[in-house]
Amino acid sequence: DGGITQSPKYLFRKEGQNVTLSCEQNLNHDAMYWYRQDPGQGLRLIYYSQIVNDFQKGDIAEGYSVSREKKESFPLTVTSAQKNPTAFYLCASSPTGEIGTGELFFGEGSRLTVL
Amino acid sequence: GQSLEQPSEVTAVEGAIVQINCTYQTSGFYGLSWYQQHDGGAPTFLSYNALDGLEETGRFSSFLSRSDSYGYLLLQELQMKDSASYFCAVRDLDSNYQLIWGAGTKLIIKP
């Protein structure tokens, strides 16, 4: 079945360590996104990519990095520079990057806890 | 600045109707979306309004008034499985068409 797969579902990290969250989609969507969700808050955009080998910073990109070498994959690295990385991370994709209904298709999320 | 306001929590009874409001302040409004998210789960798309009026999809309807910068999600014949958080999100032209999200409304349904 088509969809978005995020891994791992749960991740624990020590302070000072980098960690990479995986996001793979087989929906043949052009655009992919990473969001961060904190309790009681809306989603905040970290990075997005509308085409392979290109990506743009969202509202809270500091301390994060991404790559988009393949259409299907958009991994997110949470670096040690991110001061408060404990959060729920959501990856999403959409068939068009700029216009349309605004429908995003989400993965099940990765919950990162920094010890 | 750009902001969306929605109530933090709404309580309703099973079988009833509930309305979740969303007011927005954005510089380049393009459309209003609604998403549902169950605890610990992924948000799922419910509806999208770009023009004024009511859009109906089964038990769920969504309304938009661009002149009032206001929209709402209407849920009818509430079922216990509708207990979730509901987010409004504006697609904003001035943010390169990216979505700006409200903080979400937790819908609690009582039997």
Name chain B contacts of A48, Cβ cutoff 8 Å.
98
pLDDT digits (tens, 9 = 90+) for A39-64: 888 899 999 999 999 999 999 999 99
Residue A41: predicted pLDDT: 84
Given pLDDT bands bounded at 50, 70 and 90, which one contains residue B2? confident
Low-confidence winner among A62-76, A97-111, B75-89 (lowest mean pLDDT): A97-111
pLDDT digits (tens, 9 = 90+) for B38-89: 998 999 999 999 999 999 989 999 999 999 999 999 999 999 999 999 999 9
Mean of per-residue pLDDT scores for chain A: 92
Distance CA B66, CA A47 (A): 29
- Token look-up 């996104």 returns A33
**Cross-chain residue pair B48–A102, CB shorter than 8 Å:** yes
**Cross-chain residue pair B101–A44, CB shorter than 8 Å:** yes
Quick check: A100 pLDDT over 70? no
Distance CA B104, CA B35 (A): 9
* B78 vs B26 pLDDT, higher one: B78
Mean of per-residue pLDDT scores for chain B: 94
Question: Percentage of residues in chain B with pLDDT exceeding 90?
Answer: 83
Token readout for A94 is 């959409």
- Token look-up 């109707």 returns B17
Quick check: A97 pLDDT over 60? no
Measured between its terminal Cα atoms, the distance across chain B in Å is: 40
Residue A115: predicted pLDDT: 85
Quick check: B31 pLDDT over 80? yes
A–B CB contacts, 8 A cutoff, strictly below: 58
Residue A99: predicted pLDDT: 60
SS (H, E, C) chain B: CCEEECCCEEEEECCCCEEEEEEEECCCEEEEEEEEECCCCCCEEEEEECCCEEEEECCEEEEEECCCCEEEEEECCCCHHHCEEEEEEEEEHHHCCEEEECCCEEEEEEC
Mean pLDDT computed over B19-44:
94
Quick check: B102 pLDDT over 70? yes
Low-confidence winner among A22-31, A42-51, A88-97 (lowest mean pLDDT): A88-97
Mutation for testing the B interface, residue in A101, A105, A111 having most B CBs under 10 Å = A101
